[in-house]
A = this chain, B = another copy of it.
Amino acid sequence: MKVKVGIIGVTGYTGGELLRLLLNHPYVEIKKATSRSNAGNDVTLVHPHLEKEISLVEEDFEVASFLEGLDLVFLALPHGKSAPLVKEIYEKKVKVIDLGADFRLKDSNDYEFWYELKHACPELLPESVYGLPEIYKEEISKTQIVANPGCYPTSIILGLAPLLANKIIDTETIVIDSKSGVSGAGKTLTEITHYTHINENLLAYKVGNHRHIPEIEQELSLLVQSRVCVNFTPHLVPMNRGILSSIYVTPKVSITEKELADFYREFYQGCPFIRLRDKTRLPQTKWVQGSNYCDLAPVYDERTGRIIVFSAIDNLVKGASGQAIQNMNIMFGLEETAGLGIAGMYP
């Protein structure tokens, strides 16, 4: 028996990526897909690379009828659009994975502050689980609502978790310098993401006020059981896919690179999508391109006494749609790697 899924908001990059990956999933049937901009047309009109792989006319969207016959719904919508839908889906007892931001922050005040929007169903926040399987696998397996993590937070939390869980670092020293390919900015046309502007260009943006900050701090705080405040600076890099986070922290204790590596190996034991590397083979975004891996390398700099962690993911896979499928697998008791055995594409 296959899991019957629907995708709401299938037009964007994460929607397309869900299709690409689910098409290869042995235990899933893509039953329905919908989006405002492509209603009435086949999904391949907006995703021509999938022609001949799938044929699926997008429905005019009406929640109740859309849910009929579905086991799970993926939401790939802008923030603010998911919350009301999740409420309805939840009431219909259908499982839902929200790839947007509406259920990532546990505190609706934080949501209101950072997203400048009142949350539509704060009562469901405690019901939802932050969908980072390397940390919340157990909770994910039991929930009906998964809040799929943001791309930057995924790379960063996975990079820091072993250090925080083991209380190795001074949490006041965390500096995170992240670099992202342009697909992270989505399909919306902007001056910054116009080809001739961002090609052969490099810049920081939203310094100190990116909406992934509260999400990062919430999860790091939970790991270390105390309030963590970080510097997070995102940069835009002229490439399509990939995030590399370079994370600088000061240890509270004396530590060797070998011990560091051990902490990571232990923490991520049994995690199929974590690949540990080291300073002789630092993570490169191209090595995770198209795949669900997160490549990690903690490095200890003896000269300065700082630890530097490098974390690379494909922002559209482990940073979005791949992780959503990993969550789905866990929610339905499937093998965690099902449908995600697609190797990365190089070059």
Contacts and interface: CB of A to CB of B under 8 A. Distances in A.
A251 B36 CA distance: 44
Given A202-B239, A231-B304, A49 B344 contact: yes
Nearest to A45: B281
A266 interface: no
Contact of A204 (B239, B282, B291): B282
A199 B195 contact: yes
A341 B303 contact: no
B183 A196 contact: yes
B231 A202 contact: no
A293 to B, nearest CB: 7
A20 B208 contact: no
Nearest to A184: B196
A233 B207 contact: no
Interface stretch (A70-78, A95-103, A242-250): A242-250
A158 to B, nearest CB: 15
Nearest to A200: B239
Main secondary structure of the interface of A (DSSP, over half): loop
Contacts of A193: 194-196
B342 A195 contact: no
Contacts of A182: 195-196, 199
Contacts of A1: none
Contact of A13 (B51, B177, B242, B347): B347
Nearest to A190: B189
A49 B289 contact: yes
Chain copies in the assembled complex = 4
A345 B20 contact: yes
Given A198-B195, A204-B282, A285-B203, A244 B235 contact: yes
Contacts of A16: 346
Interface string A333-347: 000000001111111
A291 B23 CA distance: 13
A52 interface: yes
Given A24-B341, A189-B189, A284 B202 contact: yes
B306 A347 contact: no
Given A177-B246, A207-B299, A231-B304, A241 B191 contact: no
Contacts of A318: none
A304 B229 contact: yes
Contact of A347 (B204, B240, B275): B240
26 contacts: A13-B346, A16-B346, A48-B287, A52-B293, A179-B202, A189-B189, A197-B347, A200-B242, A200-B285, A201-B285, A201-B286, A202-B284, A203-B282, A203-B283, A203-B284, A204-B246, A205-B282, A207-B282, A207-B301, A208-B303, A208-B304, A229-B303, A237-B237, A290-B290, A290-B345, A342-B342
